[in-house]
Amino acid sequence: MRAKVSVFRFNRDEAAGPHYDEFFVDVTRGTTVLDCLTQIKDEQDGSLTFRSSCRVGACGDCATKINGQASLTCKTRALKELEEHGYIRVEPLPGFEVTRDLVVDLEPLWEHIEEIGPWIETREHGKRIPFELIEKVQRASFCNLCGICHSECPVVKADPGFGGPATLTKVYRFAIDDRDSRGVKRVVKLVGGSTSPFRCLRCYLCEEACPRSVGPAESTAALRRLAMRNGTIVEAGIRHARAMTKDVCRYGKLSETALAVRTWGYNPLAILRAIPLALRLWLRGKLVWRTEPIGGIQDIKKIIEATEKIQDG
Amino acid sequence: MVGRGHDVLIVGGGVAGLRAAIASHDAAIDLRLDVAVVSKVHPLRSYSAVAQGAINAAIDPADSWERQALDVIKCGDYLGDQNVVEVFCREGLAAIGELETFGVPFNQSKDGKLAQRAYGGASIPRACFVADRTGQVLLHALWEQALMRGITFYNEWYVLNLVIEGGTCCGVIALHIPSGKIHAIPAKATILATGACYSVYQSVTRVRMNTGDGTAMAYRAGVALRDMEFVQFQPTTLFGAFINIAEAARGEGGYLRNRFGERFMERYAPKMMELASRDIVSRAILSEIREGRGLDEGYVHLDLTHLPKGVLIQKLPQVCEQVRDFAGIDPTKEPIPVRPGIAHETGGINTNMDGATNVWALFAAGDCSNTGMNGANPSGGNGLVGAVLFAKKAGESAARITGGRAMPSIRPDWQRREEELMASLFHSKSRESLARIRKRLGEVMMDKVGPYREGRLLREAVDDLKRLREQYECVGVRDRSRRFNTELIEVLEMRNSLDLAEVIVASALARQESRGTHYRRDYPKRDDQNWLKHTLVYADRNGPRLGYRDVVITRFPSGVRYEMPYEG
């Protein structure tokens, strides 16, 4: 069938600013969005510029935004998009500077990756990864740094200084490898900085968008646990998580007043700043000084203990 | 960075290129050699990422390097140089150990030994693997190690030509793709690692970027190419999509069935069945289809439905993902439609074991090179080991020759020549469609120089290629912007594809026998008397000039392959 494909165009050397061009292409059952772009380039407009390399979903070169969703063009079936939207709109991967048309400059991502020192440093040659770790290390290693999660991440959008899910997945890959001489120190070092795993909002957009299912959000969560288990408490995120777990364990609910204080730490400045809020809470009768445990607290404790065991495993 | 030159310059950022870069750096750590990698894509986008299956090593106590060597030699139909095969098999194990040190998480058995799966042409399970994404994980690990060593990267730079003066390579002329500017990059030693040429058979492959740039450049500069007539077709590519379904699927126990549900490999290779060499399986599938036992549109079934679901999920995640994404089939429930496709060029730049070519200071490694190891048909699972093993040697020998050599200077007319060529491409009016030439080239090569060949068709192909070349002369670049001009790159790449197609046809026409992947209907028998020799091709004014060299035979005299390799 004939399908309408609308493609973002931009070349800063040309007078026409950013705009969309419309093309019509032939689509059959197996046609991918990349096939559509190739068809346009071959037959209609040789100047259409996009990246593609392996064309089979392995290398990650062809990441773009298709009908609003960051995806690999080589893995996205054109018919499926047409069924859902009636048209196909292809735009460059958001969050990066456009070099030309659909090609973006991924340099900010590469810089983040390089900054963490993405290589294994071993002193013991020939030592093998323990059997239990293989699956986890493999899953993280399957990330091909296509940039999709980086572009979807709302924290990166708000602050490009945040390394994003791909960078954290890379950190995770090495942090759990006991052969790496930096190992868990890698994550401890990040805590409190611009790429702290505690800055993740747990929105799971990265997890859903990942074309290789490498679990970037789960890796980030695992990094947070690693950081906490290794005794770093320099960040409010960690204190908050700890205080919450403790409260739920003790009362089965949150003791909000104490929680706030413990999250900020016993920091006179933070407490001073919180006084207006505390006053407002008090006026509305929300400042509770004593928290009573709820019924069935013993069962709640058991659930938490079981969960912790699973997470450690 | 540009212009000052490098001690060692590697063209190509795939597994071979990166391994060579690491080796050059490590060969003389105290000298702090300046090593750089030029690649037309970001190294992580190299085609190595697609190599799925495996990496061979004789680890099992029941295995030995001799046993592996015999398998490789038989698989290559006795055309492999046995001295090279011996080195390959003896040193392969250490190469794998190195990769583990670089952080590659190979699959293991519970007792901490490396897991190994059965693979085509191997008499014992010998293939180590990282699920079915071995190449991608290897590629990333090597890139990481290269970063650690501070190697310079020229990403998205397209090399236009080698600078060779007085029989010595002095570096390259390259185009910076994002800006469209041309620069000279001098180097004391240059290593080509540009991968195999797939683009020639465009009609049966999805990949468009492996255009044999390095091989063609070297050929035009007077370097010999070897055994170019041998083109291996992957037996099981997903029907309609031409995505290779990893051999691992058969290694894990997948069956091939025809329309009657028969495991037809019984007729062609009763002992090895689905795990016979790739050339044999490909021809068997094509025979079934031709004799009417294929399914409707010309394919057979790869059946994985009898395998435990856990095996599919853990060991073949990518196969499952690709079959689901590209064909909408659930491989745990339905058989996969497959047919032979994706032509992999076995031949390449003629090198010795150290990667040296007949031009001083020019080396080659990986799939663009040919050490003579693979013979007439490469074994599955040898590509990646061969790439890391021989790339390491090439990197080390390149580092060695930089000692005492001054940084060469490149005369400005080298750069000017490329600039003029580019200007002519930009200014000529395009009277011919590049896409049409590409399509036609694919058809000619597949129909006339495919898995079945004969003299008459090969001669026709020679004429067809001449015509295509004339048409190519009328191609210009319609896109006038210099910025990230991918159409320009495609036009330049096509020149390389056409040169190599010509070499393949000339070599195939001359070899009047059937051996390995090269099957001639008019000469259906192997002929050791006359053809136990390598083809060497040189560029001449009138086209390819052929020469021959004897195969090195040490301890394995030429004999029959284990099974009926040919049509029968």
For residue B8, name the pLDDT band (cuts at 50, 70, 90).
Answer: very high
Give the C-alpha distances (Å, rounded to integers) separating A70 from A32, B335, B484.
15, 31, 22
Cross-chain residue pair B479–A47, CB shorter than 8 Å: yes
Helix (H) or strand (E) holding B239: none
Q: How many CB pairs under 8 A join A and B?
A: 163
The reply to whether B148 touches chain A by the CB within 8 Å rule is: yes
Contacts B318 to A, Cβ<8 Å: 58
This complex has an ipTM of 0.92
List all residues of chain B from 185 to 224 with a beta carbon under 8 Å from chain A: 206-209
CA neighbor of B316 nearest in space, from B273, B257, B252: B252
Burial A253-271 (b: 16+ CB within 10 A, else e): eebebebbbbbbeeeeeee
Burial B17-56 (b: 16+ CB within 10 A, else e): bbbbbbbbbbbbeeeebbbbbbbbbbbbbbbbbbbbbbbb
Please report, in tens digits, the pLDDT of each residue of chain A (313 residues total).
Answer: 899 999 999 999 998 899 999 999 999 888 999 999 999 999 999 999 999 999 988 999 999 999 999 999 999 999 999 999 999 999 999 999 999 999 999 999 999 999 999 999 887 777 889 999 999 999 999 999 999 999 999 999 999 999 999 999 999 999 999 899 999 999 989 988 999 999 999 999 999 999 999 999 999 999 998 988 887 667 777 888 888 888 888 888 888 778 877 887 777 887 888 888 888 988 988 777 788 888 888 898 888 888 888 766 5
Residues near B451 by Cβ (< 8 Å), separated by ≥ 6? B233, B279, B282, B283, B286, B340, B517, B519
Cross-chain residue pair B105–A134, CB shorter than 8 Å: yes
Q: A279, exposed or middle or buried, with CB in 10 Å at 0-12, 13-18, 19+?
A: exposed
Instruction: Say which of B106, B207, B241 has its CB closest to residue A30.
Output: B241
List all residues of chain B from 336 to 355 with a beta carbon under 8 Å from chain A: none
Instruction: Say which of B105, B136, B483 has its CB closest to residue A13.
Output: B483
CA neighbor of B5 nearest in space, from B191, B187, B154: B187
Instruction: Say which of B206, B328, B477 has its CB closest to residue A55.
Output: B206
Residues near B553 by Cβ (< 8 Å), separated by ≥ 6? B82
List all residues of chain B from 33 to 52 with a beta carbon under 8 Å from chain A: 41-42, 44-47, 49-50, 52
Q: What is the mean pLDDT of residues B472-481?
A: 92
Cross-chain residue pair B137–A138, CB shorter than 8 Å: yes
Q: Contact, A292 vs A251, CB < 8 A?
A: yes
**Packing angle, helices A164-175 and A216-229, rounded to 10:** 50
Beta bridge partners of A9: A19
For residue B562, name the pLDDT band (cuts at 50, 70, 90).
Answer: low
Q: Which two tokens stand for residue B45?
A: 């986008």
Q: B431, exposed or middle or buried, with CB in 10 Å at 0-12, 13-18, 19+?
A: exposed
Edge to edge, what strands does the sheet with A2-9 contain?
A19-26, A2-9, A88-91, A63-66, A69-72
Query: Which pLDDT score is estimated for A277?
Result: 85
C-alpha distance from B49 to closest chain A C-alpha (Å): 6
Q: Contact, B11 vs B360, CB < 8 A?
A: no
Q: Quote the distance between the C-alpha of residue A290 and its chain's center.
A: 39
Query: Which pLDDT score is estimated for B560?
Result: 74
Residue of B nearest to A72 (CA): B325
Cross-chain residue pair B326–A32, CB shorter than 8 Å: yes
Strands in B193-346 per DSSP E? 225-226, 231-238, 255-257, 300-303, 336-345
Question: What is d(CA B313, CA B332) in angstroms, rounded to the nearest whole number?
Answer: 10
Beta strand B362-364 with B181-192: parallel, antiparallel or unpaired? Answer: parallel
For residue B474, name the pLDDT band (cuts at 50, 70, 90).
Answer: very high
Contacts A116 to B, Cβ<8 Å: none
Instruction: Say which of A103, A122, A130 has its CB closest to residue B484.
Output: A103
Measured from the Cβ of residue B535, the count of other Cβ atoms closer than 10 Å reads: 27
Indicate if B278 belongs to the active site. Answer: yes
Residues near B99 by Cβ (< 8 Å), separated by ≥ 6? B55, B106, B138, B141, B388
Q: Which residue among the candidates B117, B133, B257, B278 is catalytic per the annotation?
A: B278
Residue of B nearest to A47 (CA): B479
Residue of B nearest to A137 (CA): B105
Sole residue written with tokens 């006991």: A178
Share of chain B above pLDDT 90, in %: 80
Question: What is d(CA B166, CA B145) in angstroms, rounded to the nearest whole number?
Answer: 35
Q: Is the pLDDT of residue B205 over 80?
A: no
The reply to whether A120 touches chain B by the CB within 8 Å rule is: yes
Residue of B nearest to A177 (CA): B103
Q: Is the pLDDT of residue B564 over 80?
A: no
Question: What is d(CA A4, CA B15) in angstroms, rounded to the nearest whole number?
Answer: 39
Q: Which two tokens stand for residue B165?
A: 């003066």
Residue of A nearest to B245 (CA): A56
C-alpha distance from B145 to closest chain A C-alpha (Å): 6
Measured from the Cβ of residue B461, the count of other Cβ atoms closer than 10 Å reads: 23
Q: What is the mean pLDDT of residues B14-33?
A: 94
Helix (H) or strand (E) holding B509: helix B486-510
Q: Contact, B369 vs B355, CB < 8 A?
A: yes
Q: Quote the distance between the C-alpha of residue A167 and its chain's center.
A: 9
Burial A296-307 (b: 16+ CB within 10 A, else e): ebeebeeeeeee
Edge to edge, what strands does the sheet with B369-370 contain?
B369-370, B348-350, B225-226, B533-540, B543-550
Q: A84, exposed or middle or buried, with CB in 10 Å at 0-12, 13-18, 19+?
A: exposed
Residue of B nearest to A133 (CA): B105
Q: What is the mean pLDDT of residues B358-379?
A: 95
Question: What is d(CA B105, CA A209) in angstroms, rounded to the nearest whole number?
Answer: 25
Question: What is d(CA B56, CA B89) in angstroms, rounded to the nearest whole number?
Answer: 9
Cross-chain residue pair A126–B105, CB shorter than 8 Å: no
DSSP secondary structure letters along A144-170: ---SHHHHH-HHHHH-TTS-HHHHHHH
**Radius of gyration of chain A from its Cα atoms, rounded to whole angstroms:** 24
Q: Quote the distance between the C-alpha of residue A127 and its chain's center.
A: 31
Q: Contact, B303 vs B257, CB < 8 A?
A: yes
Q: Contact, A91 vs A8, CB < 8 A?
A: yes
Query: Which pLDDT score is estimated for A210?
Result: 97
Instruction: Say which of B131, B206, B487 has its CB closest to residue A56.
Output: B206
Query: Which pLDDT score is estimated for B550?
Result: 96
Contacts B485 to A, Cβ<8 Å: 47, 49
Instruction: Say which of B209, B314, B327 has its CB closest to residue A53.
Output: B209
Give the C-alpha distances (Å, rounded to integers) separating B31 from B7, B277, B306.
11, 45, 57
Under DSSP, is residue A38 helix (H, G, I), strand (E, B) or coil? helix
The reply to whether B240 touches chain A by the CB within 8 Å rule is: yes
A58-67, B236-245, B343-352, B526-535: least confident range: B236-245
Q: B413, exposed or middle or buried, with CB in 10 Å at 0-12, 13-18, 19+?
A: exposed
List all residues of chain B from 92 to 131 with a beta carbon under 8 Å from chain A: 97, 100-103, 105-110, 112, 130-131
Instruction: Say which of B101, B110, B484 has its CB closest to residue A49.
Output: B484
Instruction: Say which of A119, A130, A174 has its CB closest to residue B147.
Output: A119
Measured from the Cβ of residue A28, the count of other Cβ atoms closer than 10 Å reads: 10
C-alpha distance from A203 to closest chain B C-alpha (Å): 25
Q: Contact, B173 vs B163, CB < 8 A?
A: yes
C-alpha distance from B518 to closest chain A C-alpha (Å): 27
Largest CA distance in chain A: 74
Helices (H), B149-244: 213-220
Q: Is the pLDDT of residue B378 over 80?
A: yes
Contacts A167 to B, Cβ<8 Å: none
Question: What is d(CA A220, CA A198) in angstroms, rounded to the nearest whole number?
Answer: 8
Give the C-alpha distances (Å, rounded to integers) separating B477 from A230, B176, B277, B380, B492.
59, 17, 43, 39, 10
The reply to whether B308 touches chain A by the CB within 8 Å rule is: no
Cross-chain residue pair A13–B45, CB shorter than 8 Å: no
C-alpha distance from A231 to closest chain B C-alpha (Å): 27
C-alpha distance from B240 to closest chain A C-alpha (Å): 8
Contacts B41 to A, Cβ<8 Å: 51, 53, 61
C-alpha distance from A13 to closest chain B C-alpha (Å): 8
The reply to whether A50 touches chain B by the CB within 8 Å rule is: yes
Question: What is d(CA B373, CA B386) in angstroms, rounded to the nearest whole number?
Answer: 9
Largest CA distance in chain B: 68
Residue of A nearest to B43 (CA): A59
Contacts A78 to B, Cβ<8 Å: none
Mean pLDDT rounded to a whole number for chain B: 93
DSSP secondary structure letters along B331-397: TTTSPEEEEEEEEEE--EEE--TT-B-SSBTEEE-GGGEE-S-STTSPPTT-HHHHHHHHHHHHHHH
Question: What is d(CA B508, CA B406) in angstroms, rounded to the nearest whole number?
Answer: 42
Contacts A135 to B, Cβ<8 Å: 314
CA neighbor of B231 nearest in space, from B281, B196, B276: B196
Q: What is the mean pLDDT of residues B259-265?
A: 95
CA angle, corner B266, sides to B263 and B272, nearest 5?
A: 105
Helix (H) or strand (E) holding B105: none
Residue at B63: amino acid letter: D
Instruction: Say which of A51, A56, A130 has its CB closest to residue B50.
Output: A56
The reply to whether A75 touches chain B by the CB within 8 Å rule is: yes
Q: Is the pLDDT of residue B393 over 60?
A: yes
Residue of B nearest to A102 (CA): B484
Contacts B97 to A, Cβ<8 Å: 125-126
Contacts A57 to B, Cβ<8 Å: 321-322, 325
Q: What are phi and psi of A278, to 5 degrees?
A: -60, -40
Instruction: Say which of B49, B478, B482 has its CB closest to residue A144.
Output: B49
Under DSSP, is residue B238 helix (H, G, I), strand (E, B) or coil? strand
Mutate to test the interface with B, among A119, A170, A174 (most CBs of B within 10 A): A119
Please count the CA atoms within 13 angstroms of the CA of B419 that sit on its side-chain side.
Answer: 9
Query: Which pLDDT score is estimated for B120?
Result: 83
Query: Which pLDDT score is estimated for A133?
Result: 92
Would you give the end-to-end CA distance of chain A in angstroms? 51
